[in-house]
Amino acid sequence: MKYFLDFEFNPNDDTTITIISLGMIKENFETLYCISNEFKEENCNKWVQKNVLPNLGGTPRISLCDMKQQVINFISDDPKPEFWGYFCAFDWVLFCQLFGGMLCLPKYYPMLCKDVEQYRDKLQVELSPNNNNHNALQDAIWTMNAYNYLDSIDNRY
């Protein structure tokens, strides 16, 4: 099963980033949305305060430990999850960070996240812009839709 993911985060400095929220959607349209209670809004940079925090929604905030458990429950016993993101380098770092690092991922999780932007680049097509205002779940849904569009083009050839 394919899982499309997106994180919103605060880049603290050149070496650390803090998780704010996670959105995931399965290819069967089941969703997961989590907001961390372990970040401080006042420590977020001005861009994050203006563009991310107003779009978090009313979902209760949870610990990163609980977020990790929700991800495990969401993926459940899928023996071959396939993760996809959009410009997903930071997203994948944060996903692995939830588990304590890439080497701490559950055994059946792959050690990579596939990137929709690389897929788009390979096909040399344009995507409609993502206008979801930095909401992790809405961005994950956009990523799935972008992937499905690209896949439909790729399967024509």
Which pLDDT tens digit goes with each residue over 76-124? 989 999 999 999 999 999 999 999 999 999 999 999 999 999 999 999 9
State residue 130's pLDDT score: 87
pLDDT tier for residue 156 given thresholds of 50, 70 and 90: low
Residue 152, CA atoms < 13 Å, CB-side half-sphere: 6
Which ranges of the chain would DSSP assign to H, the alpha helix? 46-51, 64-75, 89-98, 116-123, 136-154
pLDDT at residue 157 greater than cutoff 60: no
Percent of the chain's residues with pLDDT above 90: 88
Which pLDDT tens digit goes with each residue over 119-138? 999 999 999 888 878 999 99
What residue spans define the domains of the chain?
2-154
Interior CA angle at 35 toward 32 and 40, to 5°? 165
- Rounded Cα gap, residues 114 and 77, in angstroms: 20
In terms of DSSP bridges, do strands 17-26 and 2-11 run parallel, antiparallel, or are they unpaired?
A: antiparallel
Cβ-Cβ contacts under 8 Å for 25 (sequence gap 6 or more): 3, 4, 31, 32, 137, 140, 141, 144
* Multiple choice CATH, 2-154, 1.10.3720.10, 3.30.70.20, 3.30.420.10, 3.60.15.10: 3.30.420.10
